[in-house]
Copies of this chain bind each other. A is one copy, B any other.
Amino acid sequence: MSEATVSRVLNGVGPVKEETRRRVMEAAKQLNYVPNALAQRFARQKSGNLGVILPLLPKVNVFSTYYFSEILSGIGHTAKHSGYDLLMLFREPGEPREYANLFRTQKVDACIILGAQNIPTDYDALEELQLEGHPFCLINQRFDGKPYNTVDADHRMGSFDAVTHLMQQGCQRIWFLNGPPVFSNSLDRLEGYRQALEAAGMTFDPDRVLAGNYSRKSGYAHAEAFAELIRTGQADAIIAANDRMAIGLLQGLKEKGVRAGADYALVGCDDSDGARLTDPPLTSIAVPFYEVGSEAASRLLGTLAETEPPVPFTVKLPVRLVARASSEV
């Protein structure tokens, strides 16, 4: 029995007589044989790896652990059932982004990029990937006018719903605490806020937009000034672009005796674990992170299976407002 036949049987390709097939399988079992993946991949010129590029989270920063593990689980589950292994590629702060090399060295067949920002370093690296025709997909970040594969949630709609919800609760002066504009999430969320106000016949006031950096601390830092705005009747509600800032703000205001769900209404974004832990519990926009991850993986790996040149995809998954006590009046 030849090497080639064994290969055919084990890979289920080509014509094989049933009898032969049986004998090979039996022998394999007998000998406890498993094919050497390294050799296999080398011969096929396919790494069998899906790369996941993400910032190293030293003691948790911009990225919340919730966001991170949900997305990763979604990717992992899908990759596994598509026969791909997951290669984690941590990118550290000052480091050059040699994403294209991952493909040139054949470490990955495709990759998913988390935490990309709209800055030249990131943009250039993506542009290089695109030019060389490497399959990749962004999660939670889009680049205007660029046809990069992207899977995102509908953050614009999330903010829109948050404003609508607050107005239904009777709020009139709704503020917005945003994250940095290098993340398209921030822009989308702000846009939804603006649209909802205008749809309700109110005017969008840029002075009511505060700047944070998605950390709890940056939310906390706005507490003092915002307390004053509430006391003087200039604000009765605020939407924070993520839960961490919302929670920081909530805690800071509480220390000043200003209570969410009573003295003002508060809405966060992400519906992370933490939203259920605060007092009062935090109203938030639930984002299907697990699905974002699995959708990105399945779409991307899908393109690898096709023969025709793949068409770029842009997926936007729906979000959902989860009302809790922090947004009551």
Residues on B with beta carbons closer than 8 Å to the beta carbon of A183 = none
Question: How far does the alpha carbon of A72 sit from the alpha carbon of B56 in the complex, in Å?
Answer: 10
Complex contact A88–B90 (CB within 8 A): no
Closest 7 CB pairs of A and B: A279-B279, A86-B88, A37-B105, A42-B42, A65-B69, A277-B277, A38-B106
Question: How far does the alpha carbon of A285 sit from the alpha carbon of B107 in the complex, in Å?
Answer: 40
Partner of A38, one of B41, B77, B92, B278: B41
Residues on B with beta carbons closer than 8 Å to the beta carbon of A68 = 65, 69
Complex contact B76–A88 (CB within 8 A): yes
Complex contact A105–B34 (CB within 8 A): yes
Q: Closest residue to A67 on the B side, CB-wise?
A: B65
Partner of A279, one of B58, B104, B278: B278
Sample of 19 A–B contacts (CB below 8 Å): A35-B105, A38-B106, A38-B107, A39-B42, A41-B42, A56-B77, A59-B70, A60-B273, A65-B70, A72-B88, A77-B90, A80-B92, A85-B87, A86-B87, A86-B89, A86-B90, A87-B87, A274-B277, A277-B277
Residues on B with beta carbons closer than 8 Å to the beta carbon of A251 = 277
Which residues of chain A have a CB within 8 Å of any CB of chain B?
Answer: 34-39, 41-42, 45, 47, 49, 56-60, 65-66, 68-70, 72-73, 76-77, 80, 85-90, 92, 101, 104-107, 247, 251, 273-274, 277-279, 290
Q: Smallest distance from the beta carbon of A258 to chain B beta carbons, Å?
A: 15
Question: How far does the alpha carbon of A165 sit from the alpha carbon of B89 in the complex, in Å?
Answer: 42
Question: How far does the alpha carbon of A34 sit from the alpha carbon of B103 in the complex, in Å?
Answer: 10
Partner of A37, one of B69, B73, B107, B273: B107
Residues on B with beta carbons closer than 8 Å to the beta carbon of A66 = 65
Residues on B with beta carbons closer than 8 Å to the beta carbon of A41 = 38, 42
Known: A37-B107, A47-B38, A65-B65. A58 touches B76 (CB 8 A): no
Question: How far does the alpha carbon of A279 sit from the alpha carbon of B326 in the complex, in Å?
Answer: 14
Residues on B with beta carbons closer than 8 Å to the beta carbon of A92 = 80
Partner of A69, one of B69, B86, B273, B277: B69
Q: Smallest distance from the beta carbon of A277 to chain B beta carbons, Å?
A: 4
Complex contact A57–B73 (CB within 8 A): yes
Complex contact B56–A76 (CB within 8 A): yes
Question: How far does the alpha carbon of A236 sit from the alpha carbon of B94 in the complex, in Å?
Answer: 51
Residues on B with beta carbons closer than 8 Å to the beta carbon of A89 = 85-86
Q: Smallest distance from the beta carbon of A314 to chain B beta carbons, Å?
A: 26
Residues on B with beta carbons closer than 8 Å to the beta carbon of A86 = 87-90
